[in-house]
Amino acid sequence: MELKVYCDRMSQPSRAILIFCKANNAEFEEITVEIGKGQHRTPEFAEVNPMKQVPAVIHGDFKLFESHAILIYLASTIPGVADHWYPADVRERAKVHSVLDWHHTNLRRGSELRCVSRKGLAMVVESHVYRFGYLFNTVFAVVFGMPGDPKAAAEGEKLLSASLARIESLWLQGGPFLLGNSKPTIADLALACEVTQLEVADQNGHDRIMKPHTKIVKWIKDVKSATAPHFEEIHAAIRSAREPLKKLKAQAAHKSE
């Protein structure tokens, strides 16, 4: 059965799926849907995913979206995937689901920012990462022509840091990978690709945020080596995006002067 992966390497869940496929020698076709060009909003892509988001897959005539669901599906259907990626044991599997669900409302809370006030959220849910919050106000706001709000960026950074610390204290205990495992699961891949999105920010910002989180830094390195050379290769896109982003940022700063 033919597998098509619709994705944009600039999107963190897209990268997780590409790396998973490559690390597990899946035969697939990568179809780039450029978010920057609005290609996810075309009627053709709505046929693939009515939610108009990447990633999405078509396997034979089976269509699926939502990256965690896709990772689980691929781990269960690609031949020869090692058990550690998505363990058959019900309890081990439950823990992987738990991390992935946590990821939705914490590390990946971006969409929530749209609808609940920052203050309200900060008070209600005691920790979240707002990685999206930080990046939005430092980098993407410039690209999409919106004024970046330094105060919001600082707040986002604080919450991001708190969440990284939480991953360290909760999930990275007792082994190199999440849940104290000796080998990575799909949850490692999903969360690691989220954290690496920070590399789009400028080097100083990235280094400042990551510095206190030595466990996270080591974990990312371990995920990288466990999936080498694919992790580095798939992430090349976000690194090459840095320079043009820097230029845009400088231009925007110039304009606002």
Partner 1 sequence: MTLTVFADRMSQPSRAIIIFCKVNGIDFEEVRIDLAKRQQLTPQFQEITPMKKVPAIVDGRFKLFESHAILIYLACSFPGIADHWYPADLFLRAKIHSVLDWHHSNLRSGAAGYVLNSTLGPALGLPLNPEAAAKSEKLLSASLGKIESFWLKGRGRFLLGSTQPSIADLSLVCEIMQLELVDEKDRERILGPHKRVMKWVADTKNATSPHFDQVHSVLLKLKEKLQSERAVGETSQNVLPSKL
- 62 interacts with partner 1 by CB under 8 A: yes
Residue with tokens 């075309």: 42
- 64 interacts with partner 1 by CB under 8 A: yes
If you write DSSP's letter for every residue of 65-121 in order, what string do you get? Answer: ESHHHHHHHHHHHSTT--GGGS-SSHHHHHHHHHHHHHHHHTTTGGGGGGTS-HHHH
Residues with Cβ within 8 Å of 110's Cβ and at least 6 positions away in sequence, in order, are: 130, 131, 132, 133, 136
Q: How far is the CB of 74 from partner 1 (least distance, A)?
A: 9
Q: Give whichever of 13 and 156 is closer to partner 1, judged by the CB atom.
A: 13
**Rounded Cα distance, 215 and 212, in Å:** 9
Q: Give whichever of 97 and 218 is closer to partner 1, judged by the CB atom.
A: 97
- 102 interacts with partner 1 by CB under 8 A: yes
Find the binder of partner 1 among 27, 29, 38, 124 (CB under 8 A): 124
Find the binder of partner 1 among 77, 214, 240, 251 (CB under 8 A): 77
Q: Give whichever of 94 and 154 is closer to partner 1, judged by the CB atom.
A: 94
Interaction pattern, residues 153-192, with partner 1; x per rule: CB under 8 A: -----------------x----------------------
**Rounded Cα distance, 102 and 151, in Å:** 27
- The strand pair at 29-32 and 62-65 is best described as unpaired
Stretch that binds partner 1, among 105-113, 146-154, 192-200, 222-230 (CB under 8 A): 105-113
Stretch that binds partner 1, among 20-28, 79-87, 123-131, 229-237 (CB under 8 A): 123-131
Long-range contacts of 211-215 (CB under 8 A, 24+ apart): 212/161, 212/165, 213/161, 213/164, 213/165, 213/168, 215/168, 215/172
Q: Give whichever of 9 and 68 is closer to partner 1, judged by the CB atom.
A: 68
Residue with tokens 């043009």: 244
**Cβ contact 233:192 at 8 Å:** no
Find the binder of partner 1 among 10, 32, 73, 206 (CB under 8 A): 73
CB burial of 102-123 (b: ≥16 within 10 Å; e: otherwise) equals bbeebbbbeebbeeeeeeebbe
Q: Give whichever of 94 and 250 is closer to partner 1, judged by the CB atom.
A: 94
- 25 interacts with partner 1 by CB under 8 A: no
- 111 interacts with partner 1 by CB under 8 A: yes
Positions touching partner 1 (CB under 8 A) are 50-51, 62, 64-70, 72-73, 76-77, 90-91, 93-95, 97-98, 100-102, 104-105, 108, 111-112, 114-117, 120, 123-124, 126, 170
